[in-house]
Amino acid sequence: MNEQRNGRAVSALWESTVPKYPCLLHGADYYPEQWLGHPDILKRDVELMREAGINCVSLGIFAWSSLEPEEGVYTFDWMTEAVDRLYGAGIRVILATPSGARPAWLAEKYPEVLRVSDSLARAAFGGRHNHCYTSPVYREKVRQIDQRLAARFGGHPGVILWHISNEFGGECFCPLCRAAFREWLKRKYGSLEKLNEQWYTSFWSHRYTKWEQIDPPLRNGETRLHALNLDWKRFVTDQTLDFYRREAETVKSAAPDVPVTTNMIGPKSNLNYHKFRDSVDVVAWDSYPLWHRGAEEDIREAQKTAFAHDTMRSIKRKPFLLMESTPSTANWMEVSKLKRPGMHMLSSLQAAAHGSNSVQYFQWRQSRGACEKFHSAVVDHSGRSDTMIFRDVREVGKRLEALDKAGLSRTEVRPEAALLFDWENRWALRDAQGPRRSGIHYDETVLSFHRAFWELGVPVDVPDMESGLTGYKLIAAPMLYLCRAGIQDKLKDFVRAGGTLLGTYWSGVVNENDLCFLGDTPGGITELFGIRREGIDALYDGQYNRLLIDGKACPPLKREYRIAELCELDCCEGASVLAGYGDDFYRGRPALTVHSYGKGRAYYLAARTEYAFLRDFIALLIKRAGVRKSLDAQLPDGVTAERRTGPEKDFIFVQNFNAFPAKVALNASFRDAENGVAYEKTLPLSGYEVKILEEDHPG
């Protein structure tokens, strides 16, 4: 049976994404170029990979100087041998383009490839991830090597996916980038007049009379025009994307059947990853949570990681790849604490629970020198397989293999709830001066909304303002400060058609170029929420107000919650008041309202409350909107559940992020997807355990 979703058959989803090898991937970044003088080690690597249940590796990520030691001299034989040797052992290859780090000869001969900082200082040779994205020389040199790699390896049966560069990011202020920025602005605005108007340059006499006068936000230059700052960040994403696309086109032109991806770094990136939506065949990202700082910290870290997985999955609303994770510690962590027994399995399967069809590591074999020599690896300096880390990895491999056989790769996470998080909104909110320069806390707010879904075990997508919003019953949209991409109309359509929306304070403030809406606000959505903003009060740290629920008790809501940081003063224009402020000169004014709009309801939270309110209120909305939980059960603290839906059956990952055992009281009986054990009333979990339940579809 093939279930349809957005016109795609679910069971065919992964088969069409990675057609050459559509199974769950278990692999690692592999650097044979570091061991070319040790043929015994290279041979042993393949044996050890099989022992660890590794079925694919990422190859060539930083191998440029081994592939082209001198300009125009290509030495691909070692890579051919590696790909053949791996394929012969049944191990597939994700082949990287080497543009993430350049050889010394390239930097020496063409200094324009080196990045320039916002103080206009050009970098010297060294490091990685620091090339100019505009430089025609760099682009051309990358094209030449990519094209050769694609011609040589694109048709190899073992090469299943292209890995473009490595962790794109950062910015360059060189003359080439600055000129490209001006061209980008000309395309966007058409005329200086329009730009001056949208950037509000009449302020402080900042009017531009020539395009050449415009510079990006340089450290000692113009940083106070918020629209300029925003456009620069947009340009940096676009320019990076353009660089990526050229690489993707180059490899695809030689090997059209091999899909492309690039490894992203999650929501913390300076790039707006949603812009990559149509240019990657599959989203891939590198996840490095910091475990074991404390019991409560582990739970927060788990939820933060879940948010990151949800955000990355939502870029394409499809399964994604965990491209890198550490087998245990990372050298760059302040304190490199070993993963406690169970944590490696739990954090690996957490990614799978949220829609990853892979668990990949940085790195296969620990490097012998340079700055990553103490980063953990599947194989450490001892070269042995009877180590703690190797055993942990092998266990993950075994479990993934069994889950693959059980059909996990043909399932996907399909949330009925969404939490809006928008990169451009984040940029604008962080830049804005007021109403709380000491901390506007957009990211923290979005995370605390996400926490409520995570604790309740409700799958949630994290779309941005440009994403489609179809298929959801409930959307939470905190702090929609900057409104773009027609988000107001999309939200109106959503509610009109019967959806439940939760909006908050400090929404509908500026347009896409950071110009304040004139007239009533929240701009474009006053009629949706049935309220009008009169002002916003900011509180110092340590100052509080109270949110008092009106009328009769409505479990699980309590009568009163604490408010901190931001209190918006709204007037009702059609909305009904559900809660009011308890203190200060605005005591009694609305703090929470609801407005019927079309067939749906739009709730507006005027103040930043303590987390307990979000937890209780979101629980209520989930119930009212009929949003399905992953598991119909009350989940203990630190335990969550996530569901992957397939054509015949669903998998429910129940994860315990506590170091101690937990018990989940079940409302129905379930079968363990891995060993068939039946759980009637209680599901016991040991510390850091993840159990996977299965549920057949009725009929």
Cα–Cα distance for residue pair 464/470, rounded to 1 Å: 13
Q: Which of 123, 330, 446, 509 binds ligand GAL (CB under 6 A)?
A: 330
Q: How far is the CB of 351 from ligand GAL (least distance, A)?
A: 15
Tell how far CA 117 is from the center of its chain.
26
Measured CA to CA, the distance from residue 120 to residue 187 in angstroms comes to: 25
- Residue 491 Cα distances to 382, 499, 521, angstroms: 57, 9, 15
Q: How far is the CB of 605 from ligand GAL (least distance, A)?
A: 36
Among residues 324, 412, 416, 455, the one annotated as catalytic is 324
As measured in angstroms, the least distance from the Cβ of 362 to ligand GAL is 4
Torsion of CA 364, 368, 371, 372, to 10 degrees: 20
Stretch that binds ligand GAL, among 110-118, 322-330, 335-343, 578-586 (CB under 6 A): 322-330
| Binding string, residues 204-233; x marks residues near ligand GAL by CB under 6 A | ------------------------------
CB nearer to ligand GAL: give 280 or 621.
280
Which residues in 340-359 are b (16+ Cβ under 10 Å) and which e? eebbbbbbbbbbbbbbbbbb
Query: Between 10 and 312, whose beta carbon lies closer to ligand GAL?
Result: 312
Residue 26 or 533 having the CB closest to ligand GAL = 26
- Count of residues that interact with ligand GAL, criterion CB under 6 A: 10
Q: Which stretch binds ligand GAL (CB under 6 A): 117-125, 246-254, 291-299, 323-331?
A: 323-331
Identify the residue among 276, 361, 362, 604 touching ligand GAL (CB under 6 A): 362
First to last CA, the chain: 11
* Cβ–Cβ under 8 Å, residues 105 and 57: no
Q: Which is nearer to ligand GAL, 289 or 580 (CB)?
A: 289
Q: Least separation, in Å, of the C-beta of 264 and ligand GAL?
A: 10
Least spacing, CB of residue 288 vs ligand GAL, in Å: 6
- CB of 58 vs ligand GAL, minimal distance in Å: 10
Phi, psi (degrees; rounded to nearest 5) at 673 = -70, -20
Which residues are CB-neighbours of 10 under 8 A, at least 6 positions away? 2, 3, 4, 410, 411, 412, 645, 646, 647
Would you say 87 or 288 has its CB closer to ligand GAL?
288
Closest separation between CB of residue 324 and ligand GAL, Å? 6
Smaller CB separation from ligand GAL, 260 or 474: 260
| Residues 258 to 297 in contact with ligand GAL, rule: CB under 6 A | 286, 288
- And the tokens for 20? 């050459």
Structure tokens at 510: 């500026």
CB-CB contact of 51 with 24 (8 Å): no
Residues 526, 604: Cα–Cα separation, whole Å? 10
Judged by CB, which is closer to ligand GAL: 78, or 288? 288
Closest contact distance (angstroms) between CB of 42 and ligand GAL is 20
Half-sphere exposure of 457 (CA within 13 A, CB side): 23
Comparison of 321 and 510: residue with beta carbon closer to ligand GAL: 321
Which residue, 57 or 578, has its beta carbon nearer to ligand GAL? 57
556 contacts 524 by C-beta, under 8 angstroms: no
Nearest approach in angstroms of CB 435 to ligand GAL is: 36
324 included as an active-site residue: yes
Sheet with 25-30, edge to edge strand ranges: 260-261, 159-163, 92-96, 56-59, 25-30, 358-361
Length of the chain: 699
Residues in 383-402 at the binding interface with ligand GAL, rule: CB under 6 A: none
Q: Which of 375, 410, 608, 629 binds ligand GAL (CB under 6 A)?
A: 375
- Rounded CA separation 417/412 (Å): 15
- In the bound state with ligand GAL, the residue whose beta carbon lies nearer, of 167 and 694, is 167
Q: Which residues contact 402 (CB under 8 A, 6 or more apart)?
A: 674
What is the Cα 74 distance to its own chain's centre?
36
Nearer to ligand GAL, 171 or 324 (CB): 324
Shortest distance (Å) from residue 369 CB to ligand GAL: 14
Residues 167, 301, 455, 689: which is the catalytic one? 167
| Neighbour-count burial for 468-492, b at 16+ CB within 10 Å, e otherwise | ebeebbbbbbbbbbbbbeebbebbb
What angle do helix axes 39-51 and 77-88 make, rounded to 10 degrees? 30
Q: Of 89-97, 324-332, 376-384, 506-514, which segment contacts ligand GAL by CB under 6 A?
A: 324-332
Name the residue nearer to ligand GAL (CB basis): 339 or 643: 339
> Mask: binding to ligand GAL, 156-175, rule CB under 6 A, as x and -?
----------xx--------
Tokens matching residue 569: 């003063």
The answer to whether 107 and 113 are in contact (CB under 8 A) is yes
Report 464-503 residues binding ligand GAL (CB under 6 A): none
Nearest Cα to Cα of residue 603 among 577, 566, 565, 571: 577
Residue 276 near residue 321 (C-beta atoms within 8 A): no
Number of H-type helices and E-type strands within the chain: 17, 30
Beta carbon of residue 56, minimum distance to ligand GAL (angstroms, whole number):
17
Catalytic, 167? Answer yes
Shortest Å distance, C-beta 330 to ligand GAL:
4
Query: Cβ of residue 365: shortest distance to ligand GAL, in angstroms?
Result: 13
Do 99 and 60 meet the contact criterion of CB atoms below 8 Å apart? no
Is the preceding peptide bond at 366 cis, omega within 30 degrees of 0? no
Q: Which two tokens stand for residue 692?
A: 């996977």
Note whether 324 binds ligand GAL by CB under 6 A: yes
3-state secondary structure 100-167: CCCCHHHHHHCHHHECECCCCCECCCCCCCCECCCCHHHHHHHHHHHHHHHHHHCCCCCEEEEECCCC
Cβ atoms of 88 and 158 closer than 8 Å: no
Whichever of 329 and 640 has its CB closer to ligand GAL, that residue is: 329
| Interaction site with ligand GAL (CB under 6 A) | 166-167, 286, 288, 324, 326, 330, 362, 372, 375
Question: Could you list the active site residues?
Answer: 167, 324
